[in-house]
Amino acid sequence: MTKPRDTFAKQLAKPVHWLMLLTMFANCALLVLELSSWISAIIGLLLVYQALVICEKIRSPNKPMIWLIAITGTILLAWQSKQNGVLISMLNLLCFSYALKQFELNRRQDFYLQTVLGIFVLAAAMIFQQSLEISVLFIAVLILNLLPLLCYFSSDNFSIPVTNNQTGINRQPRTAQQLSVNQYKTLVWHSTRLVLQSIPFALVLFFLFPRLSPFWQVPLAQSAKTGLSDQVSIGDINQLVQSNELAFRATFESPAPAFNQFYWRTLVMEDFDGKTWKIRKENQRNSNIANTSSNNSNQLSSINSQINYQGQPLLYKVIAEPSYQSWLFALDVAQPPATERNKLNFTTDFTVQAKVPLSQKFSYSMRSYPTATMSKQLSPDSKQLNRELPQGSNPRLTAYALELRQHYADDLTLAQAVLERIRQQNYFYTLTPPLLTNGENQQLDQFFFDSQQGFCVHYAASFTFIMRAAGIPARLVTGYMGAEYNENGGFYSIYQRDAHAWSEIWLEDKGWTRVDPTAAVSPERVNQGFDQVSSLQQSSLLGFANLRKIDWLNKVRQQLDALDYYWTRWIIGYNSTNQYQLFKQLFGKMPLWKFAIITTLCFVLGLSFIWWLNRDKKSRRNTNQWQGYYHDLATRLAKKKLVKQPRQSLSEFSQLVAAQYPTHRAEVNHFYQTYQRLEYQAQDDNSQEQALQSLKLSYRKLKKAI
């Protein structure tokens, strides 16, 4: 006797099982980067095990084995929950349960639950990835999720009956063991049509449903951090310039600056230990304190007093990619608009940070004053801090700086002398510099006097060190230099390969002044961008640089970038502020609370109307559908001169019809027997639904025969 837990699973034919397995693989594959490696391995093993069960190579696991796997996995997840965080732990548990549930299809309700679990897992993937290409993939996988349901319920299109040998009555429509290519195409078309039909309703909900802030945030993973780091050593940025990943995009509302002015200020390093430049701890502490609105406002007022804003500002909007870091990107000298100050921090080193790390795409507006001056007056403590150097660090550079000071009393003239040396002597800009083998406190010496080959960090760090050794306040700034303009979308794209480092020196009556030593050794890096340098040097990015030279391929790439940009700006970036502006345009100056009430009432009425329609449809289907099949068949038979007489029983009439269509005798008898059972015998809902499906199948076949 078949075990009860296997009853429903064995009723499902192989096409349904294979579609469920394929759906599970697709759903979990979208989350594989977020799942723990051992959970991914277990899910993979469970998928392989289920495939062997479908192929009847092995038996389905028994209940004790399932419980053992479930308990063991849950204990391991609980043990790692502190490391993974709440959301990731729950996500692992969800996918683990989803993979195990396939072995417990005891009832039809379990089949439904498995389908809902799959859609829920698919929706969870959108938490971490929301780009245009992922969204298209999401829709494709959603269509796939509906296929097992359609395959199971499409018994009228392709099914075989399961016959009870004692009664000869079909108990349950069952999908055929093998489906043709056309039948699979039919399933895919029906599923696609369902998804397309839902899009208008989804759009209405998207634009009109209140945009509430989430009650949780995506947890941060140390390994997930991308982009610039809060500390820089020789060679660090070289790891970024080999990456073609997008860092952020910018759209200018005012005329954009010249290319050589695209210095996207991100981090300021003022502490140097002889090897590594770091952000001053005081600035980090001030940034954290500024999280409250009152402190942020007070700090912003204090910072603004140190800046002499002048000239026309640059107005632009930035969409930053997820980096799991809090720092943002702005041109000098930035001033956050009042509308953005509730989500941004403006630090004492004139950089901008988000209040929370960027776990998703982040959009903000900014204004910058290119001709403004920063800290025209600098306190003695700040001057001293930006002159400090570790004792005994890079003695040759220190001696060179002291020698320069003896020849040049003016700070700017001294800085220009260093740039002139870099420009005239055999210094070379390269992405593959020789390894610096001297000790940690002499690496800059070895670069500046011996190898003379390096990229932006080598030159900026050495220049900043020389300035400090000469008594000039100086600091290292990291960010991005350059931008790629997209003509199709009218925006600029900044990639990780555009990462750059430069120096700032403090001059009397001029304040902090940007000096980029890289411009002295490699003007094309500043005037034409990084791609020009990488192409000339035959670097690992040569392939990418050359692809941009193929006109038609570059146009396709830019068009795809434009589509992704508009998707990010208008769909991903659609927030409560955008929604309010949309409502204001549509409904004028109606108070928000009135509109909220009207929208809620319309939503409730719409759901009630849909429920009433479905209820009425279900009622008609349960009471009249089999009568409709019977009368329609009677009408068709009447045209063939086969009419049931008033005193003639239904069984006698069925024999008359069977005699007229002898090749379909079994189907005729089955149709009228099932109709009599539906019409005159009391049945529960499940039995009635099964009989109705069986009657419908017979009706379709007789309809074709007649």
What pLDDT was estimated at residue 464?
96
Interatomic CA distance for residues 128 and 136, integer angstroms: 15
Q: What's the number of domains the chain is made of?
A: 3
Q: Rounded to 10 degrees, what is the CA torsion of 320, 281, 351, 466?
A: -110
- Please identify, among 557, 583, 612, the residue that sits at the C-terminal boundary of a domain: 557
Question: Nearest-CA neighbor of 100 among 196, 207, 163, 28?
Answer: 28
Interatomic CA distance for residues 374 and 308, integer angstroms: 7
**Is 287 or 91 the better-scoring residue by pLDDT?**
91
What's the Cα-to-Cα distance from 377 to each of 270, 512, 703, rounded to whole Å?
Answer: 18, 10, 94
Task: Tell whether the model's pLDDT for residue 651 goes beyond 90.
Answer: no
What pLDDT was estimated at residue 122?
93
Helices and strands: H and E segment counts in the chain? 25, 22
The answer to whether residue 170 is domain-embedded is no
Residues 484 and 631 reside in one and the same domain: no
Per residue in 42-55, pLDDT tens? 999 999 999 999 88
Strand-by-strand arrangement of the 334-335 sheet? 334-335, 362-368, 314-320, 246-252, 491-495, 484-486
Mean pLDDT of 350-355: 91
Task: Tell whether the model's pLDDT for residue 691 goes beyond 80.
Answer: yes
State the chain's maximal CA–CA distance in angstroms: 127
Interatomic CA distance for residues 104 and 117, integer angstroms: 13
The answer to whether residue 577 is domain-embedded is no
Mean pLDDT of 545-573: 78
User: Whole-prediction pTM value?
Assistant: 0.71
The answer to whether residue 163 is domain-embedded is no
What pLDDT was estimated at residue 241?
66
Mean pLDDT of 97-113: 89
Interatomic CA distance for residues 96 and 43, integer angstroms: 7
Interatomic CA distance for residues 491 and 601, integer angstroms: 41
**H helix or E strand, kind and range, residue 593:** helix 592-638
What separation, in Å, do the N-terminal and C-terminal C-alpha atoms of the chain show?
42
Residue 146 — very low, low, confident or very high, per pLDDT cuts 50/70/90? Answer: very high
Interatomic CA distance for residues 188 and 686, integer angstroms: 27
Could you give the percent of the chain with pLDDT greater than 90?
Answer: 32
What pLDDT was estimated at residue 580?
72
Structure tokens at 631: 């009368």
What pLDDT was estimated at residue 685?
72
Per residue in 275-299, pLDDT tens? 899 998 766 555 544 444 455 666 6
Residue 197 — very low, low, confident or very high, per pLDDT cuts 50/70/90? Answer: confident
What pLDDT was estimated at residue 693?
84
Interatomic CA distance for residues 557 and 211, integer angstroms: 33
Within 13 Å and on the Cβ side, how many CA atoms surround 580? 8
CA angle 388, 394, 395 (to 5 degrees): 100
C-beta separation of 27 from 145 below 8 A? yes
What pLDDT was estimated at residue 526?
74
What pLDDT was estimated at residue 3?
42
Per residue in 318-334, pLDDT tens? 999 988 889 999 998 99
Per residue in 568-618, pLDDT tens? 888 877 777 777 777 777 777 767 677 677 777 877 887 787 777 666 555
Residue 223 — very low, low, confident or very high, per pLDDT cuts 50/70/90? Answer: very low
What pLDDT was estimated at residue 656?
86
Of 6-10, 430-434, 644-648, give the lowest mean pLDDT range. 6-10
C-beta separation of 415 from 483 below 8 A? no
What pLDDT was estimated at residue 383?
92
Residues 318 and 396 reside in one and the same domain: yes
DSSP output for 433-484: PPP--S-GGGHHHIIIIII-EE-HHHHHHHHHHHHHHTT--EEEEEEEE--E
What pLDDT was estimated at residue 434?
85
- What is the number of other CB atoms lying within 10 angstroms of the CB of residue 209? 12
Helices marked H in 212-292 = 281-289
What pLDDT was estimated at residue 474?
96
Mean pLDDT of 517-535: 74
Question: Nearest-CA neighbor of 23 among 89, 121, 92?
Answer: 121
Per residue in 58-82, pLDDT tens? 888 888 998 999 999 899 988 888 8
Interatomic CA distance for residues 272 and 556, integer angstroms: 45
Cis status of the peptide bond prior to 86, with omega within 30 of 0: no
What pLDDT was estimated at residue 60?
86
Task: Tell whether the model's pLDDT for residue 179 goes beyond 80.
Answer: no
Of 84-93, 261-270, 604-613, give the lowest mean pLDDT range. 604-613
Of 15-29, 353-367, 634-648, give the lowest mean pLDDT range. 634-648
The answer to whether residue 564 is domain-embedded is no
Structure tokens at 114: 């498995």
Residues 204 and 292 reside in one and the same domain: no
Interatomic CA distance for residues 552 and 266, integer angstroms: 34
Residue 268 — very low, low, confident or very high, per pLDDT cuts 50/70/90? Answer: very high
Task: Tell whether the model's pLDDT for residue 5 goes beyond 50.
Answer: no
- What is the number of other CB atoms lying within 10 angstroms of the CB of residue 16? 23
Task: Tell whether the model's pLDDT for residue 424 goes beyond 80.
Answer: yes
Task: Tell whether the model's pLDDT for residue 657 goes beyond 70.
Answer: yes
What pLDDT was estimated at residue 541?
42
What pLDDT was estimated at residue 28?
93
Residues 498 and 411 reside in one and the same domain: yes
**H helix or E strand, kind and range, residue 264:** strand 263-269
Residues 287 and 410 reside in one and the same domain: yes
Residue 167 — very low, low, confident or very high, per pLDDT cuts 50/70/90? Answer: very low
Tokens 């829709």, located at residue: 139
C-beta separation of 400 from 466 below 8 A? yes
What pLDDT was estimated at residue 613?
67
Residue 544 — very low, low, confident or very high, per pLDDT cuts 50/70/90? Answer: low
What pLDDT was estimated at residue 280?
83
- What is the number of other CB atoms lying within 10 angstroms of the CB of residue 205? 10
Could you give the percent of the chain with pLDDT greater than 70?
Answer: 83
Structure tokens at 507: 């001059």
Residues 257 and 144 reside in one and the same domain: no
Could you tell me the residue range of the domain that residue 469 belongs to?
Answer: 223-557
The answer to whether residue 492 is domain-embedded is yes
CA angle 572, 575, 581 (to 5 degrees): 125
Task: Tell whether the model's pLDDT for residue 513 goes beyond 80.
Answer: yes
Averaged confidence pLDDT in the chain: 82
Of 66-80, 145-159, 402-416, 462-476, give the lowest mean pLDDT range. 145-159
Mean pLDDT of 351-362: 88
- Please identify, among 539, 557, 575, the residue that sits at the C-terminal boundary of a domain: 557
Q: What is the 3-state secondary structure (H, E, C) of 119-184?
A: HHHHHHHCCCCCCHHHHHHHHHHHHHHHHHHHHHHCCCCCEEEEECCCCCCEEEEEECCCCCHHHH
The answer to whether residue 586 is domain-embedded is no
Interatomic CA distance for residues 233 and 461, integer angstroms: 9
Question: Nearest-CA neighbor of 502 among 524, 526, 485, 534?
Answer: 526
Residues 499 and 545 reside in one and the same domain: yes
C-beta separation of 448 from 379 below 8 A? no
Residues 486 and 540 reside in one and the same domain: yes
What pLDDT was estimated at residue 4?
41
- Please identify, among 208, 241, 276, the residue that sits at the C-terminal boundary of a domain: 208
**H helix or E strand, kind and range, residue 500:** strand 499-507
What pLDDT was estimated at residue 339?
80
Residues 260 and 141 reside in one and the same domain: no
DSSP output for 382-422: HHHHTT---TTS-HHHHHHHHHHHHH--SHHHHHHHHHHHH
Tokens 């947890």, located at residue: 219
Which range, 188-192, 401-405, 430-434, 638-642, has the best average confidence (pLDDT)?
A: 401-405
Residue 477 — very low, low, confident or very high, per pLDDT cuts 50/70/90? Answer: very high
Mean pLDDT of 12-27: 90
Task: Tell whether the model's pLDDT for residue 221 goes beyond 60.
Answer: no
What pLDDT was estimated at residue 169?
38
The answer to whether residue 574 is domain-embedded is no
Interatomic CA distance for residues 445 and 451, integer angstroms: 9
Residue 406 — very low, low, confident or very high, per pLDDT cuts 50/70/90? Answer: very high
Residues 435 and 466 reside in one and the same domain: yes
The answer to whether residue 578 is domain-embedded is no
What pLDDT was estimated at residue 106?
84
Per-residue DSSP letter, 59: P
Task: Tell whether the model's pLDDT for residue 161 goes beyond 50.
Answer: no
Residues 500 and 648 reside in one and the same domain: no
Residues 194 and 247 reside in one and the same domain: no
